[in-house]
Structure 1
Amino acid sequence: MAQLLSTCFFILISMQLADSSGVFELKVHSFTNTGSVCEQSRDCQIFFRVCLNYSLDVTFITLLCNNGTVQIGTFDADQSFISSSAPITVPFKFKWPGNISLIIEAWNEESSSDQSTENWYRMINRFTTNKRLAVSKGWSHDVHRGEKSELRYSYRVVCDEFYHGDNCSDFCRPRNDPFAHFNCDATGNRICLAEWKGEYCAEPICSSGCNEDHGYCEAPGECKCRLGWQGPLCDECVKHPGCLHGTCSQPWQCSCKEGWGGLFCDRNLNA
Protein backbone atom coordinates (compact mmCIF):
# COMPACT_ATOMS: atom_id res chain seq x y z
CA MET A 1 0.00 0.00 0.00
CA ALA A 2 2.84 2.41 0.82
CA GLN A 3 4.40 1.84 -2.60
CA LEU A 4 1.08 2.51 -4.32
CA LEU A 5 0.62 5.66 -2.28
CA SER A 6 4.03 6.89 -3.41
CA THR A 7 3.18 6.41 -7.08
CA CYS A 8 -0.40 7.67 -7.18
CA PHE A 9 -0.77 11.34 -8.06
CA PHE A 10 -3.93 13.38 -7.65
CA ILE A 11 -4.58 15.72 -10.52
CA LEU A 12 -5.39 19.24 -9.37
CA ILE A 13 -5.68 22.08 -11.86
CA SER A 14 -3.56 24.31 -9.65
CA MET A 15 -0.83 21.69 -9.18
CA GLN A 16 2.63 23.11 -9.86
CA LEU A 17 5.94 21.28 -9.23
CA ALA A 18 9.36 22.79 -9.79
CA ASP A 19 12.30 21.18 -11.50
CA SER A 20 10.31 18.41 -13.11
CA SER A 21 11.71 16.23 -15.88
CA GLY A 22 8.44 15.82 -17.79
CA VAL A 23 4.71 16.46 -17.81
CA PHE A 24 1.64 14.27 -18.29
CA GLU A 25 -1.08 16.31 -20.03
CA LEU A 26 -4.79 15.53 -20.27
CA LYS A 27 -7.44 17.29 -22.38
CA VAL A 28 -11.15 16.67 -21.89
CA HIS A 29 -12.70 17.55 -25.24
CA SER A 30 -16.35 16.77 -24.68
CA PHE A 31 -18.78 15.05 -22.37
CA THR A 32 -22.25 14.12 -23.57
CA ASN A 33 -24.94 13.01 -21.14
CA THR A 34 -27.72 11.02 -22.82
CA GLY A 35 -30.12 10.79 -19.91
CA SER A 36 -31.26 12.52 -16.77
CA VAL A 37 -28.82 11.83 -13.96
CA CYS A 38 -30.02 14.32 -11.34
CA GLU A 39 -33.17 14.44 -9.31
CA GLN A 40 -33.28 18.19 -9.89
CA SER A 41 -31.51 18.74 -13.19
CA ARG A 42 -32.16 22.47 -13.14
CA ASP A 43 -29.68 22.88 -10.29
CA CYS A 44 -27.48 19.90 -11.06
CA GLN A 45 -23.92 20.41 -12.25
CA ILE A 46 -21.21 17.92 -13.17
CA PHE A 47 -17.55 17.79 -12.17
CA PHE A 48 -14.78 15.32 -12.91
CA ARG A 49 -12.43 13.44 -10.64
CA VAL A 50 -9.24 12.19 -12.24
CA CYS A 51 -6.61 9.78 -10.93
CA LEU A 52 -3.31 8.92 -12.59
CA ASN A 53 -1.20 5.99 -11.46
CA TYR A 54 2.18 5.31 -13.03
CA SER A 55 1.74 1.57 -13.48
CA LEU A 56 -0.72 -0.84 -15.07
CA ASP A 57 -1.91 -2.10 -11.69
CA VAL A 58 -5.22 -0.43 -10.85
CA THR A 59 -5.61 -2.28 -7.55
CA PHE A 60 -6.68 0.09 -4.76
CA ILE A 61 -6.72 3.08 -7.12
CA THR A 62 -10.26 3.99 -6.07
CA LEU A 63 -9.19 4.00 -2.44
CA LEU A 64 -6.15 6.10 -3.19
CA CYS A 65 -8.02 8.76 -5.16
CA ASN A 66 -9.84 10.30 -2.22
CA ASN A 67 -9.56 14.10 -2.48
CA GLY A 68 -8.38 13.71 -6.06
CA THR A 69 -11.11 16.00 -7.38
CA VAL A 70 -10.66 18.52 -10.12
CA GLN A 71 -13.17 21.07 -11.38
CA ILE A 72 -12.80 21.00 -15.16
CA GLY A 73 -15.93 23.13 -15.67
CA THR A 74 -19.47 23.48 -14.43
CA PHE A 75 -22.27 22.66 -16.82
CA ASP A 76 -25.82 21.42 -16.73
CA ALA A 77 -25.96 17.68 -16.24
CA ASP A 78 -28.55 17.16 -19.00
CA GLN A 79 -26.58 19.01 -21.67
CA SER A 80 -23.52 18.32 -23.73
CA PHE A 81 -20.26 19.87 -22.62
CA ILE A 82 -17.37 20.88 -24.90
CA SER A 83 -14.15 21.98 -23.26
CA SER A 84 -11.78 24.56 -24.70
CA SER A 85 -9.71 24.92 -21.55
CA ALA A 86 -5.98 24.30 -21.32
CA PRO A 87 -4.76 20.75 -20.60
CA ILE A 88 -4.56 19.47 -17.06
CA THR A 89 -0.87 18.92 -16.31
CA VAL A 90 0.88 16.59 -13.88
CA PRO A 91 4.64 17.21 -13.67
CA PHE A 92 6.90 14.34 -12.61
CA LYS A 93 10.50 14.24 -11.38
CA PHE A 94 11.64 10.74 -12.25
CA LYS A 95 12.29 8.50 -15.25
CA TRP A 96 9.04 8.08 -17.15
CA PRO A 97 8.07 4.41 -16.60
CA GLY A 98 6.04 4.13 -19.80
CA ASN A 99 2.88 2.77 -18.16
CA ILE A 100 -0.27 4.53 -16.97
CA SER A 101 -3.56 3.67 -15.35
CA LEU A 102 -5.93 6.57 -15.84
CA ILE A 103 -9.35 6.90 -14.22
CA ILE A 104 -11.76 9.71 -15.09
CA GLU A 105 -15.00 9.88 -13.11
CA ALA A 106 -18.01 12.12 -13.79
CA TRP A 107 -19.93 13.11 -10.64
CA ASN A 108 -23.09 15.02 -9.80
CA GLU A 109 -22.77 18.29 -7.97
CA GLU A 110 -26.22 18.34 -6.37
CA SER A 111 -25.68 21.66 -4.65
CA SER A 112 -23.42 24.64 -5.21
CA SER A 113 -19.74 23.96 -4.40
CA ASP A 114 -20.57 20.45 -3.17
CA GLN A 115 -18.06 18.12 -4.81
CA SER A 116 -18.20 15.30 -2.32
CA THR A 117 -17.40 11.84 -3.67
CA GLU A 118 -18.47 9.95 -0.57
CA ASN A 119 -21.90 9.02 -1.93
CA TRP A 120 -21.34 6.62 -4.79
CA TYR A 121 -24.87 6.99 -6.14
CA ARG A 122 -23.84 10.47 -7.34
CA MET A 123 -21.18 9.10 -9.69
CA ILE A 124 -22.48 9.21 -13.27
CA ASN A 125 -19.79 7.10 -14.88
CA ARG A 126 -16.18 5.95 -14.61
CA PHE A 127 -13.77 5.68 -17.55
CA THR A 128 -10.56 3.66 -17.17
CA THR A 129 -7.54 3.41 -19.45
CA ASN A 130 -4.57 1.07 -18.91
CA LYS A 131 -1.81 1.21 -21.47
CA ARG A 132 1.81 1.86 -22.30
CA LEU A 133 2.37 5.51 -23.14
CA ALA A 134 5.59 6.60 -24.80
CA VAL A 135 7.02 10.10 -24.56
CA SER A 136 5.76 11.98 -27.60
CA LYS A 137 4.48 15.39 -28.66
CA GLY A 138 1.58 13.64 -30.40
CA TRP A 139 -1.69 13.14 -28.54
CA SER A 140 -3.35 9.79 -27.85
CA HIS A 141 -7.13 10.07 -28.34
CA ASP A 142 -9.78 8.01 -26.57
CA VAL A 143 -13.57 7.81 -26.61
CA HIS A 144 -15.34 6.08 -23.74
CA ARG A 145 -19.05 5.36 -23.92
CA GLY A 146 -21.26 4.41 -21.01
CA GLU A 147 -24.96 3.75 -20.61
CA LYS A 148 -25.71 7.41 -19.93
CA SER A 149 -22.71 9.33 -21.23
CA GLU A 150 -19.86 9.64 -23.67
CA LEU A 151 -16.43 11.12 -22.92
CA ARG A 152 -13.86 12.23 -25.50
CA TYR A 153 -10.38 13.08 -24.30
CA SER A 154 -6.71 12.93 -25.23
CA TYR A 155 -3.43 12.73 -23.36
CA ARG A 156 0.33 12.67 -23.87
CA VAL A 157 3.68 12.78 -22.08
CA VAL A 158 6.31 15.35 -23.02
CA CYS A 159 9.73 16.08 -21.58
CA ASP A 160 10.44 19.41 -19.97
CA GLU A 161 12.90 21.82 -21.53
CA PHE A 162 16.46 20.49 -21.24
CA TYR A 163 15.27 16.89 -20.65
CA HIS A 164 15.50 14.30 -23.42
CA GLY A 165 15.26 10.58 -24.15
CA ASP A 166 12.58 7.92 -24.03
CA ASN A 167 12.05 8.45 -20.30
CA CYS A 168 12.96 12.16 -19.97
CA SER A 169 16.05 11.31 -17.93
CA ASP A 170 18.81 12.72 -20.16
CA PHE A 171 19.51 16.25 -19.02
CA CYS A 172 21.26 18.74 -21.26
CA ARG A 173 21.09 22.51 -20.85
CA PRO A 174 23.27 24.74 -23.05
CA ARG A 175 25.95 26.64 -21.19
CA ASN A 176 28.89 28.89 -21.89
CA ASP A 177 30.74 29.65 -18.68
CA PRO A 178 34.14 28.90 -17.11
CA PHE A 179 33.12 25.27 -16.61
CA ALA A 180 31.57 24.25 -19.94
CA HIS A 181 30.87 25.52 -23.44
CA PHE A 182 28.21 23.62 -25.39
CA ASN A 183 24.77 23.53 -26.96
CA CYS A 184 22.41 20.52 -27.04
CA ASP A 185 20.94 18.67 -29.99
CA ALA A 186 17.39 17.33 -30.18
CA THR A 187 18.34 14.08 -28.45
CA GLY A 188 20.24 15.71 -25.58
CA ASN A 189 23.79 15.23 -26.84
CA ARG A 190 26.30 17.97 -26.05
CA ILE A 191 27.59 19.87 -29.08
CA CYS A 192 30.74 21.82 -28.25
CA LEU A 193 30.97 25.46 -29.19
CA ALA A 194 33.67 26.43 -31.67
CA GLU A 195 37.20 26.27 -30.22
CA TRP A 196 36.22 23.91 -27.39
CA LYS A 197 36.44 20.11 -27.02
CA GLY A 198 36.19 17.28 -24.49
CA GLU A 199 33.32 15.38 -22.89
CA TYR A 200 31.97 18.52 -21.27
CA CYS A 201 33.46 20.93 -23.82
CA ALA A 202 35.71 22.49 -21.17
CA GLU A 203 39.03 21.96 -23.00
CA PRO A 204 40.09 24.81 -25.28
CA ILE A 205 41.35 24.06 -28.79
CA CYS A 206 44.88 25.45 -29.14
CA SER A 207 46.21 27.35 -32.13
CA SER A 208 46.61 25.35 -35.33
CA GLY A 209 49.82 23.31 -35.36
CA CYS A 210 50.52 23.62 -31.65
CA ASN A 211 52.39 20.47 -30.60
CA GLU A 212 49.96 18.28 -28.68
CA ASP A 213 52.73 16.75 -26.55
CA HIS A 214 54.80 19.82 -25.79
CA GLY A 215 52.25 22.63 -25.94
CA TYR A 216 48.99 23.50 -24.22
CA CYS A 217 46.52 26.35 -23.96
CA GLU A 218 44.32 27.88 -21.30
CA ALA A 219 42.14 29.71 -23.80
CA PRO A 220 41.24 28.97 -27.42
CA GLY A 221 43.90 29.89 -29.97
CA GLU A 222 46.84 29.89 -27.55
CA CYS A 223 50.00 27.76 -27.64
CA LYS A 224 51.93 27.79 -24.40
CA CYS A 225 55.06 25.65 -24.18
CA ARG A 226 55.77 23.11 -21.50
CA LEU A 227 59.07 23.22 -19.65
CA GLY A 228 61.96 22.43 -21.96
CA TRP A 229 60.21 23.44 -25.19
CA GLN A 230 59.97 26.67 -27.15
CA GLY A 231 58.94 28.21 -30.46
CA PRO A 232 55.57 29.39 -31.82
CA LEU A 233 54.35 25.79 -32.00
CA CYS A 234 56.30 24.48 -28.99
CA ASP A 235 58.14 21.99 -31.18
CA GLU A 236 61.71 23.24 -30.53
CA CYS A 237 63.65 21.80 -27.62
CA VAL A 238 65.56 24.05 -25.22
CA LYS A 239 69.34 23.35 -25.27
CA HIS A 240 71.42 22.96 -22.15
CA PRO A 241 72.23 26.40 -20.71
CA GLY A 242 75.54 27.64 -22.10
CA CYS A 243 75.50 25.28 -25.09
CA LEU A 244 77.33 27.26 -27.76
CA HIS A 245 77.75 25.16 -30.91
CA GLY A 246 75.37 22.32 -30.20
CA THR A 247 71.86 21.09 -30.92
CA CYS A 248 69.20 19.05 -29.10
CA SER A 249 66.48 16.53 -29.82
CA GLN A 250 65.27 16.53 -26.22
CA PRO A 251 65.32 19.35 -23.66
CA TRP A 252 68.62 20.22 -21.95
CA GLN A 253 70.81 18.34 -24.45
CA CYS A 254 73.91 19.81 -26.04
CA SER A 255 74.90 17.65 -29.01
CA CYS A 256 77.97 19.25 -30.60
CA LYS A 257 78.07 20.14 -34.24
CA GLU A 258 80.92 18.83 -36.39
CA GLY A 259 84.26 20.33 -35.33
CA TRP A 260 83.17 21.23 -31.85
CA GLY A 261 83.50 19.47 -28.51
CA GLY A 262 83.38 19.98 -24.82
CA LEU A 263 80.54 20.01 -22.33
CA PHE A 264 79.11 23.16 -23.86
CA CYS A 265 80.36 22.54 -27.39
CA ASP A 266 82.63 25.55 -27.07
CA ARG A 267 85.93 23.79 -27.87
CA ASN A 268 87.16 24.09 -31.43
CA LEU A 269 88.47 20.68 -32.38
CA ASN A 270 90.14 22.00 -35.53
CA ALA A 271 92.28 24.56 -33.72
Structure 2
Amino acid sequence: MKRTLYILLRNPLSVTGLILIGLVVLSAIFADFITPFPSHAGAVVDFANNNRAPGWPNIFGTDLVGRDLFTRTIYAYRVSLMLGVVVLAIAVPIGVTIGLLAGYLGGWVEYVLMRVTDVFLSIPPLVLAMSIMGLLEPTLTNGMLAVTAMWWPWYTRLVYNLARGEKEEGYVLAAEIIGASKLHVMFREILPNCVPSIVTKMTLDMGFVILIVSSLSFLGLGVQPPTPDLGSMVADGAKYLPDAWWLTVFPGLAILIAVFGFNLLGDALRDLLEVQQ
Protein backbone atom coordinates (compact mmCIF):
# COMPACT_ATOMS: atom_id res chain seq x y z
CA MET A 1 0.00 0.00 0.00
CA LYS A 2 2.84 2.40 0.85
CA ARG A 3 4.53 1.65 -2.45
CA THR A 4 1.29 2.17 -4.37
CA LEU A 5 0.63 5.52 -2.67
CA TYR A 6 4.24 6.57 -3.30
CA ILE A 7 3.95 5.84 -7.03
CA LEU A 8 0.56 7.57 -7.29
CA LEU A 9 1.71 10.69 -5.46
CA ARG A 10 4.74 11.00 -7.74
CA ASN A 11 2.46 11.17 -10.78
CA PRO A 12 1.25 14.78 -11.31
CA LEU A 13 -1.82 13.58 -13.24
CA SER A 14 -2.92 11.21 -10.49
CA VAL A 15 -2.41 13.93 -7.87
CA THR A 16 -4.51 16.32 -9.97
CA GLY A 17 -7.22 13.67 -10.27
CA LEU A 18 -7.19 13.03 -6.51
CA ILE A 19 -7.48 16.75 -5.79
CA LEU A 20 -10.39 17.22 -8.20
CA ILE A 21 -12.22 14.15 -6.89
CA GLY A 22 -11.56 15.25 -3.31
CA LEU A 23 -13.04 18.68 -4.01
CA VAL A 24 -16.12 17.15 -5.64
CA VAL A 25 -16.73 14.61 -2.88
CA LEU A 26 -16.08 17.01 0.00
CA SER A 27 -18.27 19.72 -1.52
CA ALA A 28 -21.09 17.19 -1.94
CA ILE A 29 -20.73 15.94 1.64
CA PHE A 30 -20.54 19.40 3.22
CA ALA A 31 -22.97 21.12 0.84
CA ASP A 32 -25.15 22.21 3.75
CA PHE A 33 -22.26 24.23 5.21
CA ILE A 34 -20.47 25.66 2.18
CA THR A 35 -23.47 26.83 0.14
CA PRO A 36 -24.93 30.27 0.87
CA PHE A 37 -28.58 29.30 0.25
CA PRO A 38 -29.18 25.60 1.09
CA SER A 39 -32.93 26.00 0.71
CA HIS A 40 -32.44 26.82 -2.99
CA ALA A 41 -31.72 23.14 -3.64
CA GLY A 42 -35.44 22.52 -3.38
CA ALA A 43 -38.69 24.03 -4.66
CA VAL A 44 -37.91 27.68 -3.88
CA VAL A 45 -38.54 30.77 -6.00
CA ASP A 46 -37.16 34.29 -5.63
CA PHE A 47 -38.35 36.27 -8.63
CA ALA A 48 -36.88 39.48 -7.23
CA ASN A 49 -33.39 38.08 -7.92
CA ASN A 50 -34.03 35.95 -10.98
CA ASN A 51 -31.51 35.65 -13.80
CA ARG A 52 -28.75 37.62 -12.07
CA ALA A 53 -25.23 37.55 -13.51
CA PRO A 54 -22.40 36.17 -11.32
CA GLY A 55 -21.59 38.46 -8.41
CA TRP A 56 -21.84 38.59 -4.65
CA PRO A 57 -23.45 36.69 -2.93
CA ASN A 58 -24.45 34.65 -5.99
CA ILE A 59 -20.98 33.81 -7.32
CA PHE A 60 -22.43 31.61 -10.10
CA GLY A 61 -25.42 33.89 -10.65
CA THR A 62 -29.06 32.87 -10.28
CA ASP A 63 -31.40 30.86 -12.48
CA LEU A 64 -34.70 31.85 -14.07
CA VAL A 65 -36.64 31.66 -10.82
CA GLY A 66 -33.99 33.32 -8.65
CA ARG A 67 -32.32 30.28 -7.11
CA ASP A 68 -28.58 30.45 -6.38
CA LEU A 69 -26.76 28.53 -9.12
CA PHE A 70 -23.70 27.75 -6.98
CA THR A 71 -25.90 26.11 -4.35
CA ARG A 72 -27.74 24.01 -6.92
CA THR A 73 -24.50 22.99 -8.62
CA ILE A 74 -22.97 21.74 -5.36
CA TYR A 75 -26.12 19.85 -4.42
CA ALA A 76 -26.26 18.39 -7.93
CA TYR A 77 -22.90 16.76 -7.18
CA ARG A 78 -24.64 14.81 -4.43
CA VAL A 79 -27.15 13.42 -6.90
CA SER A 80 -24.49 12.58 -9.51
CA LEU A 81 -22.17 10.85 -7.05
CA MET A 82 -25.04 8.92 -5.46
CA LEU A 83 -26.19 7.73 -8.88
CA GLY A 84 -22.66 6.70 -9.83
CA VAL A 85 -22.07 4.76 -6.61
CA VAL A 86 -25.45 2.99 -6.72
CA VAL A 87 -25.13 2.08 -10.41
CA LEU A 88 -21.65 0.60 -9.94
CA ALA A 89 -22.67 -1.11 -6.69
CA ILE A 90 -25.36 -2.98 -8.65
CA ALA A 91 -23.66 -3.43 -12.03
CA VAL A 92 -20.23 -4.58 -10.82
CA PRO A 93 -21.38 -7.61 -8.74
CA ILE A 94 -23.71 -8.73 -11.54
CA GLY A 95 -21.10 -8.35 -14.27
CA VAL A 96 -18.27 -9.87 -12.21
CA THR A 97 -20.34 -12.91 -11.22
CA ILE A 98 -21.46 -13.62 -14.79
CA GLY A 99 -17.92 -13.10 -16.08
CA LEU A 100 -16.47 -15.53 -13.53
CA LEU A 101 -19.07 -18.19 -14.32
CA ALA A 102 -18.52 -17.90 -18.08
CA GLY A 103 -14.73 -17.69 -17.90
CA TYR A 104 -14.14 -20.52 -15.44
CA LEU A 105 -16.91 -23.02 -16.21
CA GLY A 106 -16.76 -22.73 -20.01
CA GLY A 107 -18.90 -25.01 -22.19
CA TRP A 108 -22.57 -24.23 -22.67
CA VAL A 109 -22.56 -21.89 -19.66
CA GLU A 110 -19.93 -19.73 -21.35
CA TYR A 111 -21.80 -19.80 -24.66
CA VAL A 112 -25.18 -18.78 -23.23
CA LEU A 113 -23.90 -16.11 -20.86
CA MET A 114 -21.54 -14.48 -23.33
CA ARG A 115 -24.08 -14.45 -26.15
CA VAL A 116 -26.53 -12.61 -23.88
CA THR A 117 -23.72 -10.23 -22.94
CA ASP A 118 -22.89 -9.67 -26.61
CA VAL A 119 -26.52 -8.71 -27.28
CA PHE A 120 -26.33 -5.95 -24.66
CA LEU A 121 -22.90 -4.83 -25.86
CA SER A 122 -24.15 -4.53 -29.43
CA ILE A 123 -26.60 -1.77 -28.44
CA PRO A 124 -25.12 1.72 -27.92
CA PRO A 125 -25.26 2.41 -24.16
CA LEU A 126 -27.02 5.76 -24.35
CA VAL A 127 -29.58 4.39 -26.82
CA LEU A 128 -30.33 1.45 -24.50
CA ALA A 129 -30.74 3.75 -21.49
CA MET A 130 -32.97 6.10 -23.48
CA SER A 131 -35.13 3.18 -24.60
CA ILE A 132 -35.59 1.95 -21.05
CA MET A 133 -36.33 5.44 -19.72
CA GLY A 134 -38.80 5.96 -22.55
CA LEU A 135 -40.81 3.02 -21.24
CA LEU A 136 -40.57 3.97 -17.57
CA GLU A 137 -41.47 7.05 -15.59
CA PRO A 138 -38.45 9.42 -15.53
CA THR A 139 -37.58 9.13 -11.84
CA LEU A 140 -34.28 8.86 -9.99
CA THR A 141 -34.78 5.14 -9.32
CA ASN A 142 -35.67 4.33 -12.90
CA GLY A 143 -32.70 6.35 -14.09
CA MET A 144 -30.38 4.21 -11.96
CA LEU A 145 -31.98 1.02 -13.27
CA ALA A 146 -31.61 2.22 -16.87
CA VAL A 147 -27.91 2.99 -16.49
CA THR A 148 -27.30 -0.26 -14.59
CA ALA A 149 -28.88 -2.26 -17.41
CA MET A 150 -26.29 -0.90 -19.82
CA TRP A 151 -23.24 -1.12 -17.55
CA TRP A 152 -22.94 -4.69 -16.26
CA PRO A 153 -21.93 -6.26 -19.64
CA TRP A 154 -18.64 -4.35 -19.67
CA TYR A 155 -17.61 -5.95 -16.38
CA THR A 156 -18.75 -9.32 -17.63
CA ARG A 157 -16.50 -9.05 -20.67
CA LEU A 158 -13.54 -7.80 -18.60
CA VAL A 159 -13.75 -10.51 -15.92
CA TYR A 160 -14.49 -13.20 -18.51
CA ASN A 161 -11.21 -12.49 -20.30
CA LEU A 162 -9.29 -12.31 -17.02
CA ALA A 163 -10.83 -15.53 -15.67
CA ARG A 164 -10.02 -17.47 -18.84
CA GLY A 165 -6.37 -16.63 -18.40
CA GLU A 166 -6.23 -17.14 -14.64
CA LYS A 167 -7.87 -20.59 -14.62
CA GLU A 168 -4.80 -22.07 -16.31
CA GLU A 169 -2.44 -20.77 -13.62
CA GLY A 170 -0.76 -23.11 -11.17
CA TYR A 171 -2.49 -21.83 -8.06
CA VAL A 172 -5.90 -22.62 -9.59
CA LEU A 173 -4.82 -26.12 -10.60
CA ALA A 174 -3.43 -26.68 -7.09
CA ALA A 175 -6.74 -25.63 -5.52
CA GLU A 176 -8.62 -28.00 -7.81
CA ILE A 177 -6.28 -30.89 -6.99
CA ILE A 178 -6.83 -30.54 -3.24
CA GLY A 179 -10.60 -30.65 -3.80
CA ALA A 180 -11.64 -27.01 -3.59
CA SER A 181 -15.17 -26.36 -4.84
CA LYS A 182 -15.82 -24.39 -8.01
CA LEU A 183 -17.26 -21.51 -6.00
CA HIS A 184 -14.13 -21.43 -3.83
CA VAL A 185 -11.87 -21.40 -6.88
CA MET A 186 -13.84 -18.63 -8.58
CA PHE A 187 -14.37 -16.29 -5.64
CA ARG A 188 -11.38 -17.05 -3.41
CA GLU A 189 -8.66 -17.81 -5.94
CA ILE A 190 -9.45 -16.15 -9.27
CA LEU A 191 -11.45 -13.08 -8.19
CA PRO A 192 -8.74 -11.54 -5.92
CA ASN A 193 -6.37 -11.52 -8.89
CA CYS A 194 -8.98 -9.65 -10.96
CA VAL A 195 -9.62 -6.96 -8.35
CA PRO A 196 -6.93 -4.46 -9.52
CA SER A 197 -8.36 -4.38 -13.04
CA ILE A 198 -11.92 -4.12 -11.71
CA VAL A 199 -11.04 -1.23 -9.38
CA THR A 200 -9.28 0.60 -12.20
CA LYS A 201 -12.30 0.25 -14.47
CA MET A 202 -14.65 1.34 -11.68
CA THR A 203 -12.64 4.53 -11.23
CA LEU A 204 -12.81 5.30 -14.94
CA ASP A 205 -16.48 4.34 -15.14
CA MET A 206 -17.49 6.64 -12.30
CA GLY A 207 -16.84 9.61 -14.56
CA PHE A 208 -18.62 7.98 -17.49
CA VAL A 209 -21.67 7.16 -15.35
CA ILE A 210 -21.91 10.81 -14.27
CA LEU A 211 -21.65 11.84 -17.93
CA ILE A 212 -24.35 9.37 -19.07
CA VAL A 213 -26.71 10.36 -16.25
CA SER A 214 -26.18 14.02 -17.13
CA SER A 215 -26.90 13.21 -20.79
CA LEU A 216 -30.19 11.54 -19.86
CA SER A 217 -31.16 14.54 -17.74
CA PHE A 218 -30.18 16.86 -20.59
CA LEU A 219 -32.71 15.01 -22.76
CA GLY A 220 -35.37 15.23 -20.05
CA LEU A 221 -35.22 11.53 -19.17
CA GLY A 222 -33.25 11.69 -15.93
CA VAL A 223 -33.66 13.46 -12.61
CA GLN A 224 -36.76 15.65 -12.59
CA PRO A 225 -37.20 19.17 -11.11
CA PRO A 226 -36.95 20.57 -8.54
CA THR A 227 -34.10 18.19 -7.67
CA PRO A 228 -30.88 19.85 -8.86
CA ASP A 229 -29.11 17.93 -11.62
CA LEU A 230 -26.18 19.07 -13.73
CA GLY A 231 -27.56 17.74 -17.02
CA SER A 232 -30.98 19.33 -16.67
CA MET A 233 -29.36 22.62 -15.57
CA VAL A 234 -27.27 22.68 -18.74
CA ALA A 235 -30.34 21.89 -20.84
CA ASP A 236 -32.41 24.65 -19.24
CA GLY A 237 -29.64 27.21 -19.62
CA ALA A 238 -28.86 26.34 -23.24
CA LYS A 239 -32.12 28.00 -24.31
CA TYR A 240 -30.83 31.39 -23.16
CA LEU A 241 -27.31 31.41 -24.62
CA PRO A 242 -25.38 33.61 -25.05
CA ASP A 243 -27.14 36.24 -22.90
CA ALA A 244 -27.49 34.18 -19.70
CA TRP A 245 -24.28 32.22 -20.30
CA TRP A 246 -23.76 31.37 -16.62
CA LEU A 247 -26.82 29.10 -16.60
CA THR A 248 -24.97 26.64 -18.84
CA VAL A 249 -21.27 27.34 -18.34
CA PHE A 250 -21.00 26.65 -14.61
CA PRO A 251 -22.98 23.36 -14.55
CA GLY A 252 -21.04 22.28 -17.65
CA LEU A 253 -17.73 23.05 -15.92
CA ALA A 254 -18.92 21.07 -12.89
CA ILE A 255 -19.49 18.01 -15.10
CA LEU A 256 -16.08 18.53 -16.72
CA ILE A 257 -14.28 18.71 -13.37
CA ALA A 258 -15.90 15.51 -12.05
CA VAL A 259 -15.36 13.47 -15.23
CA PHE A 260 -11.82 14.80 -15.73
CA GLY A 261 -10.85 13.97 -12.13
CA PHE A 262 -12.05 10.37 -12.28
CA ASN A 263 -10.46 9.85 -15.70
CA LEU A 264 -7.08 11.15 -14.52
CA LEU A 265 -7.13 8.89 -11.46
CA GLY A 266 -8.29 5.90 -13.51
CA ASP A 267 -5.50 6.40 -16.04
CA ALA A 268 -2.97 6.61 -13.22
CA LEU A 269 -4.26 3.38 -11.65
CA ARG A 270 -4.12 1.64 -15.03
CA ASP A 271 -0.49 2.73 -15.55
CA LEU A 272 0.35 1.59 -12.03
CA LEU A 273 -1.22 -1.80 -12.67
CA GLU A 274 0.78 -2.24 -15.87
CA VAL A 275 4.00 -1.39 -14.03
CA GLN A 276 3.29 -3.88 -11.24
CA GLN A 277 2.48 -6.62 -13.76
TM range (shorter): under 0.3
The structure in which a higher percent of residues are strand is 1
Larger radius of gyration: 1
TM-score (norm 2): 0.19
The structure, 1 or 2, with the larger RCO (C-alpha pairs under 8 Å, 6+ apart) is 2
The structure in which a higher percent of residues are helix is 2
TM-score (norm 1): 0.19
